[in-house]
Amino acid sequence: MRAEGVTRTPAVRTAVVWDALLAQLTELAAATGRDRLDIVDAGGGTGGFAVPLAERGHTVTVVDPSPDSLAALERRAKEKGVSVRALQGDAADLAELLDGDSADLVLCHSVLEYVEDPISAMTAVAGLLRRGGAVSVLAANPVASAIHRALAGHFDEARTALTDPRGTWGDRDPTPRRYTAETLAELLGATGFAVGAVHGVRVFADLVPSRLVDGEPGAAEALVALEKAAAAHPVLRDVATQLHVFGHRD
């Protein structure tokens, strides 16, 4: 899937993740000697990642608790002429729904914020992976949440987001948990993964008004290039809306 030459939503928001995923898929294909990889998308919803991966020839299974999302996934896959296996369940159910050592790559995007027990969820993910496999983790960042609350004039909530152990800004926060680069690395390490580099996702994309991007020729492409440059920046990475990291099962 190409990130260039596309509209701001969702491409700008996911360009950094797609670049990393495609590089990881190339590495896994070289290591396994197989171009067709087995991929599980935990919490994959309507197939924003799953369907493009299936279009690339991979075998993809989506596990999601929402029957409506899975129905939308099946419609999207049918429209694209690909097959994606859909299973209803939570991240905690992975070990019951799927065989162990059956996946080359597991996507765990915007899931760890909502699971009751992140350790159990990541342990279940590790059990799915073959030796040498990888998990792609994408999670919300509390520092970005503090910035966004401050820009909205909610200064007390911004301060709370910086000090709360779970990175939430209050009782009305719809996201139960957020992760810094350090807490993501700790979680992956505690569940047996070798931790790769952490990248920032949506450093600028959520701050730039859409009128500055959608109405200017070439602006979306320029913003994608900026996001890619900022993703690994030692300062900017840590203020991104989301953090992305791969864990490897050695």
Tell me how far apart the alpha carbons of residues 180 and 239 are, in angstroms, rounded to a whole number: 10
Closest CA to 144 of 162, 160, 163: 162
Answer whether 176's CB lies under 8 Å from 114's CB: yes
For each of the chain's 250 residues, which pLDDT tens digit applies? 333 333 334 588 899 999 999 999 999 999 999 999 999 999 999 999 999 999 999 999 999 999 999 999 999 999 999 999 999 999 888 999 999 999 999 999 999 999 999 999 999 999 999 999 999 999 999 999 999 999 999 999 999 999 999 999 999 999 999 999 999 999 999 999 999 999 999 999 999 888 888 878 899 999 999 999 999 999 999 999 999 999 999 7
Residue type, position 178, single letter: R
**In order of start, what are the domains of the chain with their CATH numbers?**
8-141+179-248 (3.40.50.150), 149-176 (no CATH)
Tell me how far apart the alpha carbons of residues 173 and 147 are, in angstroms, rounded to a whole number: 14
Which two structure tokens, joined as six digits, stand for 136?
A: 């792609």
pLDDT at site 11: 84
Instruction: Kindly tell me the sign of the dihedral angle through the C-alpha atoms of 123, 129, 130, 133.
Output: negative
Q: For strands 242-248 and 129-140, give the pairing.
A: antiparallel
pLDDT at site 215: 78
First to last CA, the chain: 28
DSSP 57: T
Look at the block and give the residue holding tokens 């797609």: 18
Which two structure tokens, joined as six digits, stand for 204?
A: 């600028």
How do residues 89-128 score in pLDDT, each as one tens digit?
A: 998 889 999 999 999 999 999 999 999 999 999 999 999 9
Can you say how many angstroms the Cα of residue 160 is from the centroid of all Cα atoms in its chain? 25
Answer whether 142's CB lies under 8 Å from 150's CB: no
